[in-house]
Amino acid sequence: METKVTTTSQAQQRVPGFACPRCGQFMPVPIQQLLHHSSLVCPWCHQRLNIDRHASAKALSILAKVEEAQQRVNNAGSI
Ligand SMILES: [Zn+2]
């Protein structure tokens, strides 16, 4: 059984982020911010959230690769 997924341009516009554990609202979080800051403040309820960098190391390394690839695409597009 094969499932085919159609990729659209909309998929590239998906904003990285996660749901706030306190208020449940979606927080858009730039990858750069996840990579370089150890805490975030929810824009909705102003709850400070510490990023567990050790537990998130694997996810962060994947995000870093995505970010790197995106910047490469952006650089190529601007030339
Ligand atoms: Zn919140």
What's the pLDDT tens digit per position in 11-54?
A: 445 677 888 889 999 888 887 787 888 888 999 999 998 887 77
Is the Cβ–Cβ distance between 18 and 52 less than 8 Å? no
Does any domain span residue 7?
no
Residue 1 is predicted with a pLDDT of 66
Does any domain span residue 56?
yes
How far, in Å, is the centroid of ligand 1 from the Cα of 67?
A: 25
Number of domains in the chain: 1
SS3 per-residue string spanning 24-74: CCEEECCHHHHHHCCEEECCCCCCEEECCCCCCHHHHHHHHHHHHHHHHHH
How far, in Å, is the centroid of ligand 1 from the Cα of 69?
A: 30
Does any domain span residue 9?
no
Does any domain span residue 33?
yes
How far, in Å, is the centroid of ligand 1 from the Cα of 50?
A: 13
Neighbours of ion ligand 1 (CB under 5 A): 20, 22-23, 42, 44-45, 47
pLDDT digits (tens, 9 = 90+) for 53-67: 777 788 878 888 888
Residue 60 is predicted with a pLDDT of 79
Cβ-based burial of 60 (10 A; exposed 0-12, middle 13-18, buried ≥19): middle
Residue 23 is predicted with a pLDDT of 95
Does any domain span residue 66?
yes
Does any domain span residue 3?
no
Does any domain span residue 21?
yes
Supply the range of the domain harboring residue 69. Answer: 16-78
